[in-house]
Structure 1
Amino acid sequence: MAEPTQYWYNTKTHEVEEGMVSPAIDRAGPYATRDEAEHALAQIKANSEKWAAEEAAEDN
């Protein structure tokens, strides 16, 4: 049985890649769909903001 296709967002070229095409340092993912990979930067930003708020709450 074949492995499901994984999509990666290349942070250097800003392109979605099917499979592990680029070096790991330039990739975000994996994502299950091309659409998820296309929105990787927004999700990364949202996660960072959420974690920063949680950390700030813990510090108070």
Structure 2
Amino acid sequence: MAEDTDHLFWYNMRTGAVEQGFQSPSIDRVGPFQTRVEAEHALEKLRENSAKWAEEEAEDNR
């Protein structure tokens, strides 16, 4: 079953705007997110994931 992308949200990294559906090129956006609020906090989530992955990588290299 295909996902209904018209009702999902993306964060546009170039403009800083939250978009519903495919409005901008994929290179400019991250997501999808289920809600507008989740998309508004995309940068925080990316930072959290980045820190977690760096920590995991450091553990693997010990």
Same fold judged by TM-score > 0.5?
A: yes
Report how many residues are paired. 58
Match of 1:44 among 43, 46, 50: 46
1:6 CA drift (Å): 0.3
Question: How much is the aligned-residue C-alpha RMSD, in angstroms?
Answer: 0.9
TM-score (norm 1): 0.93
Equivalent residue of 1:35, what SS? helix
- Residue in structure 2 matching 1:57, options 51, 56, 59: 59
Matched residues, percent identical? 52
Kindly provide the amino acid, as one letter, of the partner of residue 22 in structure 1: S
Match of 1:32 in 2: 34
Runs (5+) with no aligned partner, structure 1: none
Kindly report which structure 2 residues correspond to 1:5-16, keeping only aligned pairs within 5 A, or say none: 5-16=7-18
Gaps of 5+ in 2: none
